[in-house]
Structure 1
Amino acid sequence: MNRQAPLIGILGGYGAVGEAAARALAAEGGVRLRIGGRNPEAAARCAAALGGECEAAAADARSRESLERFVRGCDVLLHCAGPAYELADGPRRAAAAAGAGYVDVMDGCGPGPAPAGERTAVLSAGLSPGLSGLLPRLLTDEWQPRGAARFSGYYVSLGAFTRTGAVDYLLSLDRGYGTPRAQWRDGRVVHGALRGRERREVAGVPHPVTTYPYLTQELVGQARALGLAEARWYNAFDGRRLLDALNRFRAGDDRADSLEAQADAVVRASTLDALGRTPYHVLCGELEFPGPGGTPTRRMAVIRGEDGSAMTGVVGAVAAREVARGRIPGGVHRAGQVLAPREVLDALRRHLPGTVVALDGDVPGGTAADGLVLEEGML
Structure 2
Amino acid sequence: MSGGAPLIGVLGGYGAVGAAAARVLAAEGEFRLRIGGRDPEAAARCAAALGGAVEAGEADARSEASLDRFAQGCDVVLHCAGPAYELADRPRRAAAAAGADYVDVMDGCGPAPAPAGERTAVLSAGLVPGLSGLLPRLLTDGRTPPGTARFTGYHVSLGAFTRTGAMDYLLSLDRGYGTPRAQWRDGHVVRGALRGAEERLVAGVPHPVTVYPYLTQELVGQARALGLAEARWYNGFDGHHLLDALNRHRSGDDRAGGPEARAADVVRASTLDALGRSPYHVLCGVLERSGPDGATVRRVVVRGTDGSAMTGVVGAVAAREVARGRVPRGVHRAARVLPARGVLDALRRHLPDTVVTFSDDTPAAGVVPADPVMEEGVL
* TM-score computed with the length of structure 1 as normaliser: 0.94
1:46 aligned residue:
46
Deviation at 1:362, TM superposition (A): 1.1
Distance 1:371 1:216 in 2: 23
User: Is contact 2:131–2:314 with CA below 8 Å preserved after alignment?
Assistant: yes
1:336 is matched with 335
1:313 aligned to 2:312?
A: yes
Match of 1:270 in 2: 270
Residue 254 (structure 1) shift: 4.3
Partner of 2:208: 208
Give the count of matched residue pairs. 371
- Deviating beyond 6 angstroms after TM superposition, the runs of 4 or more aligned structure 1 residues are 368-372
- The residue type paired with residue 353 of structure 1 is P
Q: Does 1:94 align with 2:90?
A: no
With over 3 angstroms needed to count, the CA separation of the structure-2 counterparts of 1:244 and 1:86, relative to structure 1, is same
Asked if 1 retains the 8 angstrom alpha-carbon contact of 2:117 and 2:329, the reply is no
Distance, in Å, in 1 between the alignment partners of 2:78 and 2:204 is 31
For the 8 Å contact 2:167–2:263, the answer to whether it is kept is: yes
Q: Is the 8 A contact 1:136 1:285 kept in 2?
A: yes
1:131 to partner: Cα distance:
0.1
Q: Which moved more, 1:246-255 or 1:323-332?
A: 246-255
Change (3 A) 1:55 1:68: same
After superposition, residues 1-379 of structure 1 pair within 5 angstroms as 4-115=4-115, 117=117, 119-141=119-141, 145-254=145-254, 257-291=257-291, 293=293, 295-362=294-361, 364=363, 365=369, 373=379
- Which residue identity is paired with 1:204? G
Does the 8 Å CA contact 2:5/2:32 hold for their aligned counterparts? yes
Give the distance between the partners of 1:313 and 1:5, measured in 2 at CA.
Answer: 21
| 1:264 shift after superposition | 0.7
User: Secondary structure of 1:149's partner?
Assistant: strand
Contact 2:157 2:280 in 1 (8 A): yes
Contact 1:97–1:117, Cα closer than 8 Å, also in 2? no
Counterpart CA distance in 2 for 1:228 and 1:337 is 15
Amino acid at match of 2:24: A
1:110·1:175 contact (CA, 8 Å) conserved in 2? no
Amino acid in the other structure paired with 2:122: V
Per-residue deviation, residues 25-73 of structure 1 (Å, max 9, x unmatched): 1111100100000000000000000000100000011111111100100
TM-score, normalising length from structure 2? 0.94
Distance 1:195 1:285 in 2: 20
| Deviation, structure 1 residue 255 | 6.6
Classify the secondary structure of the residue corresponding to 1:288: strand
Q: Which amino acid letter does the alignment assign opposite residue 325 of structure 2?
A: G
Alpha-carbon distance in 2 for matches of 1:58, 1:151: 44
Cα separation, 2, equivalents of 1:284 and 1:25: 27
C-alpha separation between the residues in 1 aligned to 2:376 and 2:18?
37
Change over 3 Å in CA distance of 1:371–1:193 after alignment to 2: closer
> 3-state SS of the aligned residue for 1:129?
coil
Contact kept, 8 Å, 1:44 with 1:55, in 2: the verdict is yes
Q: Any unmatched runs of 5+ in structure 2?
A: 364-368
Paired letter, 1:220: V
For 1:161 and 1:252, the matched residues in 2 are separated by 21
Task: Tell me how far 1:228 sits from its aligned partner.
Answer: 0.4
Identity %: 78
Q: CA deviation at 1:112?
A: 2.9
CA contact (8 A) 1:285 1:302 kept: yes
Q: Per the alignment, in what secondary structure is the counterpart of residue 173 of structure 1?
A: helix
Structure 1 counterpart of 2:317, one-letter code: V
1-structure distance, mates of 2:198, 2:118: 44
Partners of 2:255 and 2:66 in 1: CA distance: 33
Alpha-carbon displacement from aligned partner over 1:230-250 (angstroms, at most 9, x marks no partner): 000000100000000000000
Q: Is the 8 A contact 2:117 2:330 kept in 1?
A: no
How far did residue 85 of structure 1 move? Answer: 1.9
Shift of 1:109: 1.1
State the alpha-carbon separation in 2 of the partners of residues 343 and 239 from structure 1: 33
Tell me by how many angstroms 1:296 deviates: 2.1
Q: From the superposition, tell whether residues 144 and 118 of structure 1 become closer, same or farther in structure 2 (CA, over 3 Å).
A: closer
1:190-218 deviation line (CA, Å, top 9, x unaligned): 11000001111100000111000000000
